[in-house]
Amino acid sequence: MQSQLQQLKSMTTVVADTGDIDAIRQFAPVDATTNPSLLLKASQQERYRPLLLEASEWARSRGGDDQTRLDNMTDKLAVLIGKEILQIVPGRVSTEVDARLSFDTEATIARARKLIALYDEAGISQDRILIKIASTWEGIRAAEVLEREGIHCNLTLLFGFAQAKACADAGVYLISPFVGRILDWHRAHEADADFSGDRDPGVRSVSRIYQYYKQHHYDTVVMGASFRNIGEIQSLAGCDRLTISPALMQELEQSTTPLERRLNPDNAVSDDARASLDETAFRWAMNEDAMATEKLAEGIRNFAADQLRLEKLLAEIQ
């Protein structure tokens, strides 16, 4: 009998939500995704010290003021770890733009181009890279420009339906709607509610987006992210992609219970009419969605904080 992880791989592209090379090698995902928090965690492991040293030496050789050197260090480290991951996975790795640029379209575009150039210098073609950008209005506009240049993007920190609609209209390659963080918000605000199974608000959010995209023939890939338990993953079996932590992949690997396909493009039905959002409509929709607004802001702050911790760690490297 196949494990649930193997069953899931037969209907969904499994992506590793980690920068841990050993875990990626163990679970053999197609793609992998990183973020400042995962890079910070990986960088604290002794096996990654040579990469930290290489990033630090490279940045110092480039010169510039202190912040420029730190930016260069973190970007170079992200690319070095991405390159290591790409030696294992057959598909793509997602590399994130500094979260502090989330409200600056032009700066996001420039940083994305820089990351792609660094990968190119490392011998990695851009068709193996996804640039991760927060799903702000400014981030979505940056992704729209980058997609036209052939630089594919992964729009992250996506919590609301308005974000999903705007990303699809912008021609974004892939979105990462979060599941567990949506559940966290609702648990904090409705402590006595039953959020088990299909009642999980994060599962319902991703399912709604998936049905909308398939019903209206959008090409944007839906990749559920940020899971709190394997029940959420099981409820989204059949989604285009799911990015899963090593701990949850281990749980799926240990179970041989038959896994039912829950999402299928052939029978997708959406109650949401296809509609585009201009900036005013987008911002109003986000204003009306307290959960999406709060979790997006919180996610950007947390990624920015981990970016600063990573910079501090790199600055201390000798």
Per-residue model confidence as pLDDT tens digits over 187-235 = 999 989 999 989 999 999 999 999 999 999 999 999 999 999 999 999 9
- What's the confidence (pLDDT) of residue 211? 98
List the chain domain ranges.
4-247+254-315
Say which range, 16-20, 71-75, 268-272, has the weakest mean pLDDT.
Answer: 16-20
Q: Binning pLDDT at 50, 70 and 90, where does residue 318 land? A: low
Q: Quick one: 4-247+254-315 is in which CATH superfamily?
A: Aldolase class I (3.20.20.70)
**What percent of the chain has pLDDT above 90?**
83
pLDDT in tens, 154-187: 999 999 999 999 999 999 999 999 999 999 999 9
Residues designated as active site: 132
Q: How far is it, in rounded angstroms, from Cα 255 to Cα 171?
A: 37
Say which range, 54-58, 180-184, 236-240, 282-286, has the weakest mean pLDDT.
Answer: 54-58
Q: Average pLDDT over the chain, rounded to whole? A: 95
- Token pair of 9 as six digits: 């791989």
- Token pair of 184 as six digits: 């966290």
Map the chain to HEC letters: CCCHHHHHHCCCEEEEECCCHHHHHHHCCCEEECCHHHHHHHHCCHHHHHHHHHHHHHHHHHCCCHHHHHHHHHHHHHHHHHHHHHCCCCCCEEEECCHHHCCCHHHHHHHHHHHHHHHHHCCCCHHHEEEEEECCHHHHHHHHHHHHCCCCEEEEEECCHHHHHHHHHCCCCEEEEECHHHHHHHHHHCCCCCCCHHHCHHHHHHHHHHHHHHHCCCCCEEEEECCCCHHHHHHCCCCCEEEECHHHHHHHHHCCCCCCCCCCHHHCCCCCCCCCCCHHHHHHHHHHCHHHHHHHHHHHHHHHHHHHHHHHHHHCCC
